[in-house]
């Protein structure tokens, strides 16, 4: 059938072929993606991309899109990318009919900045495959929609595709985003690869496709908290001490993992971070987040030991494979105190993990030309990586999985030994996730998580004012966590954390987040600062269900359920957050987590105060309540206090705890019951 589509839409791409701009050879490019489509599916991919394009341009663009698909493995629509570097501007420089529409354009642009994005030409912000959208046609169309969005409409986004504008009301979300929410039977890597290549799925990671990524600063605080508390738990560092005189070894200096050297240094320790991609190391050197680099392990450890002895904070990059570094440690009997990994192991077969013996360039070439052989080398290296870690742990190393799916990828490589039960992942792994030992009991269970804000004026002075205001809201004498957070925000300006837009991260609990949010909105109201956008990482108390990461310290069997993240998302929609997102995957891979997130624009209005008072406590406490129901001690403690403090408005269901002796008495009868059943 033939339809007259062009007159049916007022918001659409122009029937003019954009000029093809030159690609900067200095900018990192995504590796060629594996193309597993049948001929029928290739046809669908081409049709799906061209449906964004006015018909008169189809004949010219069809061969261009086909070439992209067959040579890059995806249709990106490079022709539709704006020229040069895309950077977040001041909100006043964006067109729009409401403040939220302009604010969200700013957030999208920040995700695509050359200084922020991992592969900006392919719209990949971080995590090897985490995209803002699928292609540049979507980018152009979404920006048009946001320019036209009013404060009584909602833009609906489905895996990067702008479904359209729909009437709502002033207290509704302005944008609702979902990414890669695949039906259970098809929720796996095989079908996801096909769906992405066909242009119907977008892997938004956690904050890339939710447009709330604030550069690697976002995870610096989390890594800082983790290594600091790991040292306190395992190295005898006092509760008010830091990493001074201690070494932390890890791997990865890309998008999120770029935080590691910086975090170790802020914690006053010595960080040795392995990275195979010299361009990522150079980025961190230019930022000042790494102090020096060498491909000579003797030199690396000479620097590290000097800094350790003098108790001088230092961040050192090893240009090479982490497996080579660990081999060196085992062979030379180097005592490794703290060890982790932050490579993109959720995408280990898509370039997130580099096999031993290959340079980064060889990895990229093999990935494109011999995917099967590449995958075999990945599995071989992962097995060896595991053996080296096991040896070091036997010698006294504290190793923790940083939630990058490392242990799951080792298990998938065929190492059943890494599973606690030696059979499957249902009871976890023999090494702890950082959430199990550190983040869960010490932060998430109390409600502390990665609270974020962006100064939409893009003025540094506004950010400094908000830093000082946040400091005033923290009672540093309440808990050790509050003192750590106070020191973090006190030193944030000095530590030069900003990459991209003027943004900040600060771990806070429910009380802290609401207090700071209301304070900021009042500052906007009084004209002390320009408008602000609040957000968080989905890697938080209540935003994410993931048995291999965020909910790895949920031990009641519900760690495989996604009710919490979904309810968090739905609750934030109901309460009127400006932008609300629900994703599949996150940093652990498709089918392994569900992430719910939000963005909230502070315009100084009473309307925003009302939304904050309802939404901020829900966003945190819905997760604390679930953790409490899982019988996590600190969450029970926090939930009990919350019920006391909010007795007139809120009420959380709290579990009754059973005496262990009663359970033991009944469990002693299990064998007897089993014997009777089989007779």
Segment 582-626, tens digit of pLDDT:
999 988 889 999 999 999 999 999 999 999 999 999 999 999 999
Residue 31 has which token pair?
Answer: 């590796």
167, 147 Cβ separation under 8 angstroms: no
Question: In whole angstroms, what is the distance from residue 482 CA to residue 448 CA?
Answer: 9
Give the alpha-carbon dihedral of 139, 145, 147, 148, to 10 degrees: 170
DSSP H stretches of helix in 54-182: 58-72, 99-111, 136-148
Is 222:236 a contact under the CB 8 Å cutoff? Answer: no
Residue 128's nearest CA partner among 345, 321, 276, 312 is: 345
Pairing of strands 579-584, 594-602: antiparallel
Q: Give the 3-state secondary structure of 321-335.
A: CHHHHHHHHHHCCCC
Q: Residue 557 — very low, low, confident or very high, per pLDDT cuts 50/70/90? A: very high
Q: Say if CB 206 and CB 232 are below 8 A apart.
A: no
Residue-level length of the chain: 679
Element (H, E) at 660: helix 660-667
Confidence of residue 448 (pLDDT cuts 50, 70, 90): very high
Taking only the tens place, the pLDDT of each residue in 185-216 is 999 999 999 999 999 999 999 999 999 999 88
pLDDT (tens digit per residue) in 348-357: 999 999 999 9
The percent of the chain in helix, strand and coil, each rounded to the nearest 5, is 45, 15, 40
Enclosing H/E stretch for 532: strand 532-536
Give the count of beta carbons closer than 10 Å to the beta carbon of residue 595. Answer: 32
- Cα torsion 151, 152, 157, 160 to 10°: value is -40
Mean pLDDT over the full length of the chain: 95
Task: Count the Cβ atoms, other than its own, within 10 Å of residue 416.
Answer: 12
The predicted pLDDT at position 581 comes to 98
Burial 376-404 (b: 16+ CB within 10 A, else e): ebbbebbeebbebbbebeeeebbbbbbbb
pLDDT in tens, 44-70: 999 999 999 999 999 999 999 999 999
pLDDT value of position 4: 84
Q: How far is it, in rounded angstroms, from Cα 160 to Cα 203?
A: 9
Mean pLDDT of 377-381: 98
Tokens of 347: 């995408």
Write the CB contacts of 511 (distance below 8 Å, at least 6 apart in sequence). Answer: 447
Q: Tell me the C-alpha distance between 3 and 301, whole Å.
A: 68
Share of the chain above pLDDT 70, in %: 100
Q: Is the pLDDT of residue 256 over 90?
A: no
pLDDT grade, residue 7 (50/70/90)?
Answer: confident
Of 15, 29, 17, nearest to 368 by C-alpha is: 29
pLDDT of residue 677: 86
Q: What is the DSSP letter of 517?
A: H
Phi first, then psi, for residue 463 (nearest 5°) are -65, -45
Question: Given a cut of 80, is residue 148 above it in pLDDT?
Answer: yes
- Indicate if the pLDDT at residue 25 is higher than 80: yes
- Each residue's pLDDT tens digit, 279-321: 999 999 999 999 999 999 999 999 999 999 999 999 999 999 9
What is the enclosing helix (H) or strand (E) of 274?
strand 270-275
**pLDDT for residue 118 is more than 80:** yes
> How many other C-beta atoms lie within 10 A of the C-beta of residue 461?
12
Q: Is the Cβ–Cβ distance between 385 and 410 less than 8 Å?
A: yes
Please report the pLDDT score of residue 404 as a whole number.
84
Binned at pLDDT 50, 70 and 90, residue 123 comes out as: very high
Name 600's bridge partners: 534
627, 445 Cβ separation under 8 angstroms: yes
The answer for 496, left when phi > 0, alpha when psi is -120 to 50, beta otherwise, is left
DSSP-derived pairing of the beta strands 449-455 and 532-536: antiparallel
Q: Are 460 and 448 in contact (CB under 8 A)?
A: no
């Amino acid at each position: 059938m033939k339809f007259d589509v062009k007159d049916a839409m007022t918001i659409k791409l122009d029937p003019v072929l954009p000029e093809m701009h030159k690609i900067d050879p200095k900018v990192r490019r995504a590796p060629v993606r594996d193309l597993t489509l049948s001929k029928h599916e290739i046809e669908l991919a081409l049709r799906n991309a061209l449906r964004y394009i006015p018909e008169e341009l189809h004949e010219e663009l069809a061969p261009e899109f086909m070439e992209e698909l067959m040579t890059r493995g995806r249709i990106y629509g490079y022709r539709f990318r704006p020229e040069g570097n895309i950077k977040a501007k001041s909100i006043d420089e964006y067109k729009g009919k409401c403040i939220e529409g302009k604010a969200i354009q700013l957030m999208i642009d920040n995700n695509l900045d050359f200084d922020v994005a991992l592969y900006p030409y392919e719209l990949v912000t971080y995590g090897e495959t985490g995209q803002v959208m699928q292609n540049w046609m979507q980018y152009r169309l979404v920006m048009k929609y946001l320019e036209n969005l009013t404060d009584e409409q909602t833009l609906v986004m489905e895996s990067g595709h702008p479904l359209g504008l729909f009437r709502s009301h002033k207290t509704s979300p302005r944008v609702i985003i979902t990414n890669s929410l695949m039906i259970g039977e098809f929720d796996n890597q095989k079908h996801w690869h096909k769906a992405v290549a066909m242009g119907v799925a977008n892997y938004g990671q956690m904050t890339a496709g939710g447009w709330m990524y604030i550069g690697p600063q976002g995870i610096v605080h989390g890594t800082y908290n983790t290594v600091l508390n790991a040292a306190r738990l395992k190295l005898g560092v006092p509760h008010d001490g830091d990493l001074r005189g201690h070494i932390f070894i890890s791997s990865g200096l890309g998008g999120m993992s770029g935080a590691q050297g910086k975090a170790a240094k802020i914690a006053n320790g010595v960080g040795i971070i392995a990275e195979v991609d010299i361009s990522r190391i150079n980025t961190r050197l230019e930022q000042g987040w790494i102090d020096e680099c060498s491909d000579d392990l003797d030199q690396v450890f000479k620097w590290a030991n000097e800094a350790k002895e003098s108790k001088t904070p230092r961040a050192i990059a090893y240009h090479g494979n982490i497996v080579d570094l660990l081999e060196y440690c085992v062979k030379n009997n180097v005592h490794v105190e703290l060890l982790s990994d932050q490579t993109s192991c959720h995408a280990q077969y898509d370039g997130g993990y580099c096999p031993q013996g290959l340079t980064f360039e060889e990895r990229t070439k093999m990935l494109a030309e011999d995917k099967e052989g590449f995958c075999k080398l990945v599995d071989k290296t992962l097995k060896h990586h595991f053996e080296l870690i096991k040896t070091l742990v036997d010698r006294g190393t504290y190793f923790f999985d940083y939630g990058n799916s490392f242990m799951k990828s080792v298990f998938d490589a065929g190492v059943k030994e890494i599973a606690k039960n030696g059979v499957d992942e249902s009871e976890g792994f023999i090494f702890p996730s950082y959430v199990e030992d550190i983040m869960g009991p010490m932060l998430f269970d109390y409600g502390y998580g990665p609270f974020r804000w962006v100064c939409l004026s893009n003025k540094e002075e506004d950010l400094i004012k908000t830093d000082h205001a946040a400091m005033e809201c923290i009672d540093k004498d309440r808990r050790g966590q509050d003192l750590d957070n106070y020191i973090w925000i006190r030193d944030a300006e000095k530590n030069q954390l900003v990459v991209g837009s003027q943004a900040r991260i600060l771990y806070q609990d429910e009380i802290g987040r609401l207090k700071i949010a209301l304070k900021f909105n009042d500052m906007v109201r009084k004209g002390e600062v320009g408008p602000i956008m609040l957000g968080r990482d989905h890697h938080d108390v209540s935003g994410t269900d993931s048995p291999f990461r965020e909910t790895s310290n949920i031990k009641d069997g519900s760690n495989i359920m996604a009710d919490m993240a979904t309810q968090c998302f739905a609750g934030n929609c109901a309460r009127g957050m400006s932008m609300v997102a629900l994703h599949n995957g996150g940093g652990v891979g498709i089918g392994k987590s569900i992430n719910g997130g939000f963005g909230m624009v502070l315009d100084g209005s009473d309307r925003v105060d009302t939304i904050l008072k309802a939404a901020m406590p829900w966003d945190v406490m819905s997760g604390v309540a679930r953790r409490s129901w899982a019988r996590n001690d600190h969450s029970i403690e926090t939930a009990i206090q919350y019920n006391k403090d909010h007795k007139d408005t809120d009420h959380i269901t709290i579990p009754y705890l059973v005496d262990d002796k009663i359970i033991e008495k009944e469990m002693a009868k299990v064998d007897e019951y089993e014997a009777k059943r089989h007779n």
